[in-house]
Amino acid sequence: MSSSNRLNLTPAQAQEALDAHVREIVQWHFSPETGSPFWLDWVKQAGWDPTTEIQGYADLVKFPHFQDEWLRDELNERWVPRAYVGRPYYVFETGGTTGMPKQRIGWEDQFRDYEEFSETLDDEHFPRGGNWLMLGPTGPRRLRLCIEHLAHVRGGVCYHVDLDPRWVKRLIADKEFAMANKYKDHAVEQGATLLKNRKISCLFTTPKLLEALDEKINVPDAGIKGVFCGGTQMTPQNVRFLVEEVLDNRAQFVPTYGNTLMGLACSRPLSPDDNWSITYYAPQPRAVLRVVDPDNTTETVGYGDWGRVELTTLTKEFFMPRFLERDEAVRREPWGPYGWDGVGEVRPFGAMQSTTIEGVY
């Protein structure tokens, strides 16, 4: 389903489209002709047949929560749908501060996600033909490739700075704060140098790196017209600070919530009238975000209530039912072009109870 088809539906139409998509994807992954070894083996011991019992999104609660350890422990070949056998794939990693990281394989999902996202960007602030700076996590992360693809789709090129978030997390965990700051400075200085010496109008970075960049260079004065930002929690106060002060209301700030497993959730436009609260909408139907009761994860919480974020990814390349993210959020109502629920004020799960190391990413 293309971006133009999936947007601007009523909630009922969006639900209908999602249910049809769920049926199609479940058929695909659990059919011997097209499915992956992992899911075909799984269904043998499941004791039920998803291809007959799953008739819509609501039926997915019949699946247990997807275990992210599977992405670490299973060989990547086990995730290749039969229909893709023989086609080389990308391997993207997530997490992995220590030990073996989790991996997700992909062919084109990442490109479709960012092409669709590109259509939501405002050409005035993210000009067509404008060049990008990617000042964020690189290496085996999907994001690095995706930002470059986004730049290309929009007719520009992308400059990069190397940044290894695992090293930052490790430094912070070891209380090596001075070294972590030095590494951050090292990355940000390279970004500032590129901004001074190349024509760049669009920036992807994390909130903390944007703040750090502002200490080296005036970001709007350097030619940046739009900032696409993600990677860590953004409180309303942080967002307001970045928009009003760091960007001086002169460059557009577009926050995003995304990861290797989901793709990219778009935010509704920021506004002081909303107290700068961010609400994200998943790229439904390819991925669905649900805010669930942490004590009874089959239940969706009420609108305006906090709960844990559950992600379901539904593409032909990857099926991941009911993965519990390490985030919590407020369930928000459908809005504007998004005829499905949003997740608001995302923060690390249990943030009010414990400290989570987020680092710069």
Partner 1 sequence: MTLPHIPVLRRGQVYESLEKVEIKSVRTGESVVEISHANAGIIRRDMRRIGDARAALRKFSCAELVAIAKKAGEHFLHSTLPLGDQTQSPQDYIEQLSATSGLPHILIRRNMGKIYQVFTEMETILRGLTRGLDLTVIDRGSGEQQGVPVSYYAATEALGVVLPSNSPGVNSLWMPALVMKIPVVLKPGREEPWTPFRIIQSFIAAGCPADAFSFYPTDHEGSGAVMDTCGRALIFGDEATVQRYAGNPGVSVHGPGRSKVLIGNDEAENWPQYVDLIAQSIAENGGRSCVNASCVITPRHADALADALARRLAEIRPVPATDESAQLAGFANPKMAQFIDQAITQGLQTAGAEDITAEYRTDPRIQELDGSTYLLPTIVRCNNFSHPLANREFLFPYASVLEIPQDKMLEQIGPSLVVTGITHDPGFSDALVGSPNIDRLNLGPLPTTRVQWDQPHEGNLFEFLYRRRAIQRAGN
* Interface residue list for partner 1 (CB under 8 A): 177, 211, 214-215, 235-238, 240-242, 245-246, 275-276
What are the tokens at 143? 């994001």
Contact 312, 288 (CB under 8 A): yes
Separation between Cα atoms, residue 109 and residue 125, nearest integer Å:
26
Q: Which is nearer to partner 1, 213 or 287 (CB)?
A: 213
- Tell me the CA end-to-end span of the chain in Å, nearest whole number: 31
Tell how strand 202-205 and strand 226-229 pair up.
Answer: parallel
Query: What is the strand order of the sheet 263-267 is part of?
Result: 257-259, 263-267, 279-281, 342-348, 319-332, 306-314, 287-293, 296-300
Separation between Cα atoms, residue 45 and residue 146, nearest integer Å:
37
Shortest distance (Å) from residue 240 CB to partner 1: 6
Q: Which is nearer to partner 1, 174 or 215 (CB)?
A: 215
Strand partners, 342: 332
Separation between Cα atoms, residue 324 and residue 308, nearest integer Å:
7
Shortest distance (Å) from residue 214 CB to partner 1: 7
Shortest distance (Å) from residue 198 CB to partner 1: 25
Of all helices (H) and strands (E), which one includes residue 229? strand 226-229
Q: Which is nearer to partner 1, 268 or 286 (CB)?
A: 268
Q: Which is nearer to partner 1, 64 or 304 (CB)?
A: 304
Shortest distance (Å) from residue 66 CB to partner 1: 33
Q: Which is nearer to partner 1, 48 or 177 (CB)?
A: 177
Contacts of 288 (CB under 8 A, 6+ apart): 18, 57, 282, 311, 312, 314, 340
Q: Which is nearer to partner 1, 49 or 244 (CB)?
A: 244
> What does the DSSP 8-state code read for residue 137?
-
Shortest distance (Å) from residue 241 CB to partner 1: 5
Shortest distance (Å) from residue 98 CB to partner 1: 24
